[in-house]
Amino acid sequence: MPTHITLTTRKQLDIYMNPQRQRLLKVMDIHAAPMTSKQLSDQLGISASAVSYHLKKLAELGIIGLDHTESIHGIQAKYYKRLPVVINLGNDKNDDLKAERALLSDYFMNEIWNGFKENMEQVKDRSNLMETGDTMNGILYLTEEEAKQMKKFIMEFYADHMEPAPNTVPWETAVIAFPHKSS
């Protein structure tokens, strides 16, 4: 199974860009346990058949998969899980999907920023990193090799931490790094 997927086609981006699918993925990430269409439906406030449709589309990309089935009151319930893959939007590509990638990136950054602000409003102890999180920004001076190492480190770190483990909590993250072009 790949540890990362780069979205390179319009079909892939169309599947991934769907707002309901993004909400579905976030619920799966936060719950960090296999869920049925019914459970997801209850969380999202949409029909189980709509959830099943969205799950099928996400499975096409290799982002979710069937974990197991259980017999519940004589009905076979399918439990789906989020697969541990990093999604690369392909922003490094200069193709006819550039505008869609930029729109999706804007959406993600806005969602994460709004989630961070909402979290900060609810925090009781701002000195506790496990309650607040943080933002960081600045300029790093990197050689081309160091930039490659940084990207590799980030990709490996994401891949190593995409599944829940004992004593862990889900952290929503966004990483933006690019070479500054002096004017």
Q: Is residue 58 part of a domain?
A: yes
Provide the pLDDT for residue 63: 94
Host domain of residue 23: 4-86
- Residue entry with tokens 């939007």: 89
Residues whose CB falls within 8 Å of the CB of residue 34, separated by 6 or more in sequence, listed in order: 67, 68, 79, 80, 81
Q: What is the pLDDT of residues 1-14, one digit of tens each?
A: 557 888 999 999 99
The CA-CA-CA angle for residues 74, 77, 80, to 5°, reads: 170
Q: How much is the pTM?
A: 0.78
- Residue 42: inside a domain: yes
Domain CATH code at residue 25: 1.10.10.10
Q: Report residue 131 as tokens.
A: 């309650």
pLDDT tens string 35-68: 999 999 999 999 999 999 999 999 999 999 999 9
